[in-house]
């Protein structure tokens, strides 16, 4: 079984981004700037934001963090977003999810300037994606496409199943696979006989958010498995995904591990989106 090493692919991407970031700084007179607004004290979110800041440093980006208390009101968060929208040192930014329960993620995403939408989740950018005029793409599904491309795993003509229909991963993932000429079935928690669908597929992207949902019996021999799920350690389980990875050896052709698979690609694609928007907003081209 081929291990699809997202960490290695992400490192290659970041090496290219770092060179282009230096050229951007040479032309513009400052580093590309990635901003993050984080609300509350969710431990996983703070770890993720710290990882983003370290990634920014490694590729010669300027990192801007705006920390808000969990008691932040909708109005206060919208004001913070407007500050990021107007900050000339911020080329792109995101609001770290999840938000406290009293804050609506849809309203917050709508307030981000589409030309500073690092996550590629603003409705306008999603619309561009859907009509094949992609400016930036949602980071996780775009990272999956990058992994498949790096390992020269063909999508064209392949039967693809996506398990999960979220706006962040599942739906854009299905669209990106379709645009790469895959024949795609989008499944979810209410799909009857899910195993019948996954066992027919050549490529299966699992983004259901359920620990160890699928195993070797759910896939045909020789399939490629992309596990987007990530579940923190607990009860001695360690960090795991939606797929029972230990069952796959000798059965599938290739699979992403958790951790070290799709996760590193999400941050790499976030950096790529930031540089794309920085170039677009400054009307410069870096080859």
Residue of 31, 91, 96, 146 marked catalytic: 96
What does the alpha-carbon distance between residue 162 and residue 179 come to, in Å, rounded to a whole number? 14
pLDDT in tens, 124-156: 999 999 999 999 999 999 999 999 999 999 999
DSSP string over 250-272: TTSSEE--SSSSHHHHHHHHHHH
pLDDT at 17: 98
Phi, psi of 90 (to 5 degrees): -105, 110
> Which strands make up the sheet holding 254-255, listed edge to edge?
2-3, 254-255, 224-227, 203-206, 159-163, 183-187
What does the alpha-carbon distance between residue 196 and residue 199 come to, in Å, rounded to a whole number? 5
Cα torsion angle, 186, 187, 190, 191, sign: positive
pLDDT at 236: 53
Query: What average pLDDT does the chain have?
Result: 95
DSSP string over 55-90: HHHHTT-EEEEEEE-TT--HHHHHHHHHHHHH-TT-
Domains annotated on the chain, with CATH? 28-113 (3.40.50.10860), 139-263 (3.40.50.720)
Helix or strand run (H / E) with residue 119: none
pLDDT at 235: 55
79 is known as an active-site residue: no
Name the residue among 281, 277, 283 with its Cα closest to residue 17: 277
Contact between residue 178 and residue 157 where contact means Cβ atoms under 8 Å apart: no
pLDDT in tens, 71-126: 999 999 999 999 999 999 999 999 999 899 999 988 999 999 999 999 999 999 99
For the purposes of burial, counting CB atoms within 10 Å of the CB of 87, is it exposed (0-12), middle (13-18) or buried (19 or more)?
Answer: middle
pLDDT in tens, 17-44: 999 999 999 999 999 999 999 999 988 8
Residue of 91, 113, 117, 119 marked catalytic: 119
pLDDT at 265: 97
Residue of 31, 52, 146, 197 marked catalytic: 52
96 is known as an active-site residue: yes
Which residue is listed with tokens 């775009």? 142
31 is known as an active-site residue: no
Phi, psi of 207 (to 5 degrees): -135, 50
Q: State the pTM of this model.
A: 0.94
């Amino acid at each position: 079984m081929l291990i699809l090493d997202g960490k290695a692919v992400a490192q290659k991407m970041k090496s290219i981004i770092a060179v282009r970031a230096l050229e951007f700084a040479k032309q513009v007179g400052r580093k590309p700037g990635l901003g993050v607004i984080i609300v509350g004290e969710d431990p996983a979110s703070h770890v993720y934001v710290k990882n983003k800041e370290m990634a920014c440093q490694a590729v010669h980006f300027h990192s801007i963090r705006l920390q808000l208390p969990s008691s932040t009101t909708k109005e206060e968060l919208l004001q913070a977003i407007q500050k990021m929208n107007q900050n000339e040192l911020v080329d792109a930014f995101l609001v770290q999810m999840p938000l406290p329960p009293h804050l609506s993620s849809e309203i917050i995403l709508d307030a981000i300037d589409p030309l500073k939408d690092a996550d590629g989740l603003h409705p306008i950018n999603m619309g561009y994606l859907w009509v094949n005029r992609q400016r930036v793409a949602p980071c996780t599904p775009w990272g999956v496409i990058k992994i498949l491309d790096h390992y020269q795993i063909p999508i064209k003509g392949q039967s693809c199943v996506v398990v999960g229909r979220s706006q962040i991963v599942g739906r854009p993932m299905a669209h990106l696979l379709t645009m790469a000429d895959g024949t795609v079935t989008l499944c979810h928690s209410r799909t009857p006989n899910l195993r019948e669908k996954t066992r027919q597929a050549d490529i299966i992207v699992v983004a259901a958010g359920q620990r160890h949902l699928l195993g070797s019996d759910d896939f045909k021999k020789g399939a490629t498995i992309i596990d987007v799920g990530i579940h923190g350690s607990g009860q001695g389980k360690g960090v795991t995904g939606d797929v029972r990875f230990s069952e796959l050896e000798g059965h599938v052709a290739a699979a992403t591990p958790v951790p070290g698979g799709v996760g590193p690609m999400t941050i790499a694609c976030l950096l790529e989106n930031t540089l794309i928007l920085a170039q677009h907003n400054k009307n410069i081209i870096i080859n």
